[in-house]
Structure 1
Amino acid sequence: MFRCLLVLWSIILVRGTTVCPCERPELCQQVRDERDFEVFVFDVGGKTWKSYNWSMVTTVATFGKYDAELMCHAHSKGARVVLKGDVPISYIVDQENRTAWITEKVTLAKSQFMDGINIDLEQAVEEGSPEYYALTDLVKETTEAFHREIPGSQVSFDVAWSPKCIDKRCYDYVAIAESCDLLFVMSYDEQSQIMGDCIAMANAPLSQTLNAYDQYLKMKIDPKKLVMGLPWYGYDYLCLNLSQEGTCFIAKVPFRGAPCSDAAGRQKTYKWIMKQVNVSMTGRLWDNEQQAPYFNYKDQKGQIHQVWYDDPQSICPKADSVKSKGLRGIGMWNGNILDYSDEPVARQQTALMWNALLGC
């Protein structure tokens, strides 16, 4: 009861006090135009968004603190700005909790002049469990509420790189895809469950990544519902042992049933990687099997690390497959982690990463 009163009070408060923060009031109107090709950007805060390639961006999912200036600028470029939606799945098994959460998010989206929501849960769910059905209902009811209350709004849902119960996320992918506007496929962290040798590997190996889209498409999911998500970051692994062949053996860090995982490494931004590779032991190396770059370096203690990442050469064939498979578009986690400084080399590297989203 208290929860319902809280939501009701927030609706009254928001509708009574919300004022458009943009210089031009029309920029507070929701973006309704559909683009043929989606470029979906996650933004985690700060002001680096000012340096994005706005000729390409169609949707920005705001995972940082609300920034009215970002909303106004995105709308001036015809790009949507959407909320982050996160909630414990166990909580939304209860219908009243689910309705209250959805009402709260719709109200917040309206008050911030947003254009939809990106639902990002990533929690383990058993097939056929109460949570399994509640999650499907959440997506369906959220989409219906947003479409009703904010005409032309977009509801997207983030899914693992493969639909085969990755990280124990056994969702009803077909029903969820039918319910919402987009599935953002997180084609990264593909070593979250390492079942074989505990070794450093590519974040998103090409064949593994592309095969997973075939899995989604074999489920009869509309390709126009799928957005390919790419990593603009890599993993820095401490090598417990580096073999003569260059294999980096890593610590055993279990995750959701797997004995080893990429949690043994540390995520590093493309900005950091581009600086570190220049002072590495090996310089940039290329793995033909995984179709990904990597390098080795020594830290201040003399310990050897191996860093796997994506760059334009590894991204281009993935971006080409987006078009050949007829997918809805492409995106990345996340837009902030390139080097947007005025340094000439950095500017070139950043431009090449944005351009790679359109293919080779």
Structure 2
Amino acid sequence: MGWKRKWRTSMASLPRKPQTGSGGVFVFDVGGKAWKSYDWSQITTVATFGKYDPELLCFAHSKGSRVVLKGDIPLKNIVEPTLREAWIAKQLNLAKKQHMDGINIDIEQEVEESSPEYYALTALVKETTEAFHREIEGSQVTFDVAWSPKCIDKRCYNYSGIAESCDFLFVMSYDEQSQIWSECIAAANAPYNQTLMGYESYLNMNIDPKKLVMGVPWYGYDYRCLNLSEDHVCTLPKVPFRGAPCSDAAGRQVTYKAIMDQVNSSISGSQWNTQQQAPYYNYKDADGHLHQVWYDNPKSISLKAAFVRDHGLRGIGMWNGNCLDYSGDAVARQQTEDMWRALKVNG
């Protein structure tokens, strides 16, 4: 245990990247060793959604970056204040034991406005933030929210209250087809205009732009088409989700790495949809079925990064850092560098 005490003491003297200001990159990491190839010159926070990795923790700290826990709990378990207190104490003890710098609360459950869970969730965020700030110097508490505050997926949260109660919100500007209310057709994971409408809604609630980090997807959706028209309209089977007749559950998530491995051999090659400001392509599988894949690339991400800069948002991030090809292959290396570069909001 001696090395831990020595390391803990030395951490106090390491420089931390600032929590405030635009330009920081918030990374979700789901495990493995891909983090060794991340662009650490940009990263301010790593949220660990994989197995605890002390090597990642030490490396991130050496770069002045925070590493935070994932926090999740069934909302029915936090309505009682004593249950909230117990959960917070457990997370705090784990953070201290693992030398973490805070927690990212990722609760994506249905909540009715003004329900007991509505008030309990806001209280949980406030009490977690107070406890972490009190017990761990310089700690950071963040909360993941949907691409829009307008009850997406029946998540009718107290968004302004939650924003006030934590350090900032990570806006998950992806899975924006989780509820399809119009035609049941394939579309972009994070269409440009729709994404920006979400931020306008948050800002119109008088949430400080410095309380918002834009999340972008480093993955896409592969949809098997019931029919693919000549003008590239892919009709989908109806898969309902939380009240909506159709959803992106009709497709499957695919990483940017897998997309780049496939796009050049597709029947269409990469296409650009000007209305949604996003790329897509069509391919035929081994059984002869037609598919359409929608994704984000450096061009579509750069457009969104410009909004972060122009509107003074706190920063940008992605789900998730592991989705790129870090193999070192020359073509893959360039593709990966381009995706990291697209996140830059300060020039």
What's the TM-score once normalised by structure 2's chain length? Answer: 0.96
Match for residue 120 of structure 1 among 86, 106, 111: 106
**Match in the other structure for 1:40:** 26
**Aligned pairs for 1:53-202 within 5 A:** 53-202=39-188
**Aligned pairs for 1:330-345 within 5 A:** 330-345=316-331
Secondary structure of residue in 1 paired with 2:114 = coil
**Match in the other structure for 1:323:** 309
Secondary structure of residue in 1 paired with 2:200 = helix
1:32–1:152: 8 Å Cα contact kept in structure 2?
Answer: no
**Match in the other structure for 1:297:** 283
**Cα distance in 1 for residues equivalent to 2:16 and 2:192:** 34
| Alignment CA distance shift 1:69-1:28 (3 Å) | farther
1:22–1:28: 8 Å Cα contact kept in structure 2?
Answer: no
**Cα distance in 1 for residues equivalent to 2:13 and 2:289:** 54
**Match in the other structure for 2:4:** 20
Shift of 1:26: 1.6
| Alignment CA distance shift 1:285-1:31 (3 Å) | same
Structure 1 counterpart of 2:272, one-letter code: W
| Alignment CA distance shift 1:33-1:242 (3 Å) | closer
**Cα distance in 2 for residues equivalent to 1:228 and 1:127:** 24
Shift of 1:32: 5.3
**Cα distance in 2 for residues equivalent to 1:356 and 1:25:** 36
- List alignment gaps of at least 5 residues for structure 1: 1-16
| Alignment CA distance shift 1:262-1:77 (3 Å) | same
Provide the identity percentage.
68
1:44–1:336: 8 Å Cα contact kept in structure 2?
Answer: yes
2:16–2:65: 8 Å Cα contact kept in structure 1?
Answer: no
2:213–2:313: 8 Å Cα contact kept in structure 1?
Answer: yes
Moved more, 99-108 or 17-26: 17-26
**Cα distance in 1 for residues equivalent to 2:121 and 2:11:** 33
What's the TM-score once normalised by structure 1's chain length? Answer: 0.93
**Cα distance in 2 for residues equivalent to 1:286 and 1:228:** 22
1:112-170 deviation per Cα after TM superposition (whole angstroms, max 9, x unaligned): 00000000011000000000000000000000000000021000000000000000000
**Cα distance in 2 for residues equivalent to 1:42 and 1:215:** 25
Instruction: Give the number of aligned pairs.
Output: 344
| Alignment CA distance shift 1:252-1:358 (3 Å) | same
Shift of 1:72: 0.0
**Match in the other structure for 1:257:** 243
1:28–1:72: 8 Å Cα contact kept in structure 2?
Answer: no
Secondary structure of residue in 2 paired with 1:159 = strand
**Cα distance in 1 for residues equivalent to 2:169 and 2:2:** 31
Shift of 1:27: 3.9
Shift of 1:19: 5.8
Secondary structure of residue in 2 paired with 1:127 = coil
**Cα distance in 2 for residues equivalent to 1:354 and 1:244:** 34
**Cα distance in 1 for residues equivalent to 2:128 and 2:185:** 41
**Cα distance in 1 for residues equivalent to 2:177 and 2:63:** 36
Q: CA RMSD in A?
A: 1.6
Structure 1 counterpart of 2:18, one-letter code: E
**Cα distance in 2 for residues equivalent to 1:23 and 1:144:** 26
- List alignment gaps of at least 5 residues for structure 2: none
Match for residue 201 of structure 2 among 190, 200, 215: 215
**Aligned pairs for 1:276-291 within 5 A:** 276-291=262-277
Secondary structure of residue in 1 paired with 2:68 = strand
**Cα distance in 2 for residues equivalent to 1:22 and 1:49:** 24
Structure 2 counterpart of 1:144, one-letter code: E
Answer yes or no: is 1:206 the counterpart of 2:206.
Answer: no
Structure 2 counterpart of 1:201, one-letter code: A
1:206-251 deviation per Cα after TM superposition (whole angstroms, max 9, x unaligned): 0010111011000000000000000000000000111122100011
2:14–2:64: 8 Å Cα contact kept in structure 1?
Answer: no
**Match in the other structure for 1:13:** none
Structure 1 counterpart of 2:230, one-letter code: Q
Answer yes or no: is 1:349 the counterpart of 2:305.
Answer: no
**Cα distance in 1 for residues equivalent to 2:165 and 2:215:** 20
The structure showing larger relative contact order (alpha-carbon pairs under 8 Å, at least 6 residues apart) is 2
**Cα distance in 2 for residues equivalent to 1:60 and 1:183:** 14
